[in-house]
């Protein structure tokens, strides 16, 4: 039976851990001395929270999950004061692993309102924005960045230091070798761009005019046959560089790995999806 204070009698909670009175901790969970658990958060059975771990209010941590484990990084030195932060209202499902950062006073961060589905892995030094969805068995390697409300499909693999922009959608089983621009739907091995993520943007409440501008920018970037620098120049000449178009161009300008190629250019071994022209806005 669960103890009156919400901590199961079989859970091992270090006296130094800071646990909100309204938090709940399941059977056989292990909570280390540097852990902070916010109000109304729930830690499932058999979870392990070690090192510096901060759990936001109302977050849900699924059974068997391990947060704050030693990073799989040969540069890591034992005793390094680093940690994992999980935002408010985020759900991390069963048997997910999230490793702490490699360097002192740094964090692996998962934002607010995210859903990290079962058996996924978030490696050291990653940054996930708010509202990110990571589907089962995805592998997010070290130092990756995922923007707000992006969706990562099941069994996706990302190489270290790659970035995925806000509102991007990555199809299941994709292999991410380059940065994925914001608002773009990609798929394949290696992942290549198919279209603007119109469905996701409509659900997010983006105005139809902005969605059309993004589709116009996508055509120039991925359907014109131009090299990326020339396509960006054309976008600046032909479209208003404000709002989401400006965000798209800023992301490209900040890319160190380069952005993914087009599914229609032969850079990915997948059939081309319908062009943006055929998708409703």
Question: For 80-104, what is the mean pLDDT?
Answer: 98
Which residue(s) pair with 186 in the sheet? 170, 193
Question: For 73-91, what is the mean pLDDT?
Answer: 97
- Helix axis angle, 208-222 to 228-238, nearest 10°: 140
Question: For 220-248, what is the mean pLDDT?
Answer: 97
Whether 222 shows a pLDDT value over 70: the answer reads: yes
Count of domains in the chain?
1
Which residue(s) pair with 163 in the sheet? 145
In the annotation, is 46 catalytic?
no
Binned at pLDDT 50, 70 and 90, residue 278 comes out as very low
As a 3-state breakdown, the chain gives helix, strand, coil percent values, each rounded to 5, of 15, 25, 55
Residue 271 in domain: no
Q: Which of 99, 121, 124, 178 is catalytic?
A: 124
CA proximity to 84, closest of 122, 112, 131: 122
Q: What is the pLDDT of residue 265?
A: 67
In the annotation, is 63 catalytic?
no
Cα 276 from Cα 281, distance rounded (Å): 9
Q: How many CA atoms lie within 13 A of 262 on its CB side?
A: 18
In the annotation, is 194 catalytic?
no
Residue 273 in domain: no
| Whole-prediction pTM | 0.92
Cα 251 from Cα 39, distance rounded (Å): 36
Whether 277 shows a pLDDT value over 60: the answer reads: no
Cα 174 from Cα 161, distance rounded (Å): 16
Residue holding tokens 């058999």?
A: 46
Structure tokens, 212: 């059309």
18 membership: H or E segment, kind and range: strand 18-19
Q: Which of 89, 125, 148, 179 is catalytic?
A: 125
Residue 173 in domain: yes
State the CATH number of the domain containing residue 67. 2.160.10.10
Q: What is the pLDDT of residue 5?
A: 80
Which residue(s) pair with 180 in the sheet? 164
Q: Which of 83, 129, 142, 147 is catalytic?
A: 142
Residue 28 in domain: yes
Cis peptide before 239 (omega within 30 of 0): no
Angle at 241 between CA 215 and CA 177, to 5 degrees: 60
- Helix axis angle, 243-253 to 208-222, nearest 10°: 30
Residue 202 in domain: yes
Three-state DSSP at 244 gives: helix
Cα 119 from Cα 97, distance rounded (Å): 7
Whether 166 shows a pLDDT value over 80: the answer reads: yes
Structure tokens, 141: 């390697």
Pairing mode, if any, of strands 133-134 and 127-128? Answer: unpaired
Binned at pLDDT 50, 70 and 90, residue 232 comes out as very high
pLDDT tens across 132-156, in order?
999 999 999 999 999 999 999 999 9
Question: For 265-278, what is the mean pLDDT?
Answer: 37
CA proximity to 55, closest of 72, 73, 40, 71: 40
Q: Which domain does 96 fall in, by range?
A: 12-206
């Amino acid at each position: 039976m669960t103890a009156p204070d919400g901590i199961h009698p079989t859970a091992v909670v270090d006296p130094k851990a800071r646990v909100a009175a309204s938090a709940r901790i399941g059977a056989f969970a292990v909570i280390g001395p540097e852990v902070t658990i916010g109000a109304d958060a729930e830690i499932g059975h058999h979870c392990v929270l070690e090192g510096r771990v901060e759990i936001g209010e109302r977050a849900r941590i699924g059974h068997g999950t391990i947060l704050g484990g030693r990073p799989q990084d040969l540069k890591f030195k034992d005793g390094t004061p680093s940690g994992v932060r999980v935002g408010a209202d985020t759900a991390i499902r069963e048997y997910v692993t999230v490793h702490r950062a490699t360097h002192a006073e740094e964090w692996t961060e998962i934002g607010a309102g995210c859903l990290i589905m079962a058996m996924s892995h978030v490696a050291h030094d990653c940054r996930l924005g708010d509202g990110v969805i990571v589907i089962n068995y995805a592998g997010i390697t070290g130092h990756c960045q995922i923007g707000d409300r992006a969706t990562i499909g099941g069994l996706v693999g990302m190489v270290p230091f790659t970035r995925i922009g806000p509102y991007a959608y990555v199809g299941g089983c994709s292999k991410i070798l380059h940065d994925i621009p914001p608002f773009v739907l990609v798929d394949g091995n290696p992942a290549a761009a198919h279209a603007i993520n119109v469905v996701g943007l409509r659900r997010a409440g983006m105005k139809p005019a902005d969605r059309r501008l993004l589709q116009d920018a996508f055509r120039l970037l991925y359907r014109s046959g131009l090299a990326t620098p020339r396509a960006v120049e054309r976008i600046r000449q032909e479209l208003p560089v404000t709002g989401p178009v400006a965000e798209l161009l800023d992301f490209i300008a900040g890319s160190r790995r380069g952005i993914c190629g087009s599914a229609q250019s032969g850079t990915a071994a997948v059939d081309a999806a319908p062009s943006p022209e055929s998708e409703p806005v």
